[in-house]
């Protein structure tokens, strides 16, 4: 099962609302507000690599208040 970690930059002060919206996506298994270069990190799991790509592209990156993302696809676990 493909897994990715998505690092998210959000508008200042909107981290909690971004987390709330991410939690509504069934494929998002974990999500946290973090300190550092990024504001939120989400663990995404999907049945196929194509579905993973669609979730990141069409559901995660398109959320209100998301400025940018960096996706790291897990190669080995």
pLDDT digits (tens, 9 = 90+) for 16-73: 999 999 999 999 999 999 999 999 999 999 999 999 999 999 999 999 999 999 999 9
Query: Which CATH number does 3-73 carry?
Result: 3.30.70.920
How far is 33 from 17, CA to CA, in rounded Å? 10
Q: What is the pTM of this model?
A: 0.93
How far is 35 from 51, CA to CA, in rounded Å? 29
What is the residue extent of each domain of the chain? Answer: 3-73
Q: Looking at residue 76, what is its pLDDT?
A: 80
Tokens of 46: 């999907």
Helix ranges (H only) for 1-48 are 15-22
Tokens of 73: 């696809």
Q: Looking at residue 77, what is its pLDDT?
A: 67
């Amino acid at each position: 099962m493909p897994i990715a970690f998505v690092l998210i930059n959000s508008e200042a002060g909107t981290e909690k609302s971004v987390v709330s919206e991410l939690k509504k996506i069934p494929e998002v298994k974990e999500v946290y507000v973090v300190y550092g270069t990024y504001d939120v990190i989400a663990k995404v799991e999907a049945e196929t690599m194509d579905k993973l790509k669609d979730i990141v592209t069409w559901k995660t990156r398109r959320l209100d208040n998301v400025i940018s993302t960096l996706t790291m696809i897990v190669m080995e676990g």
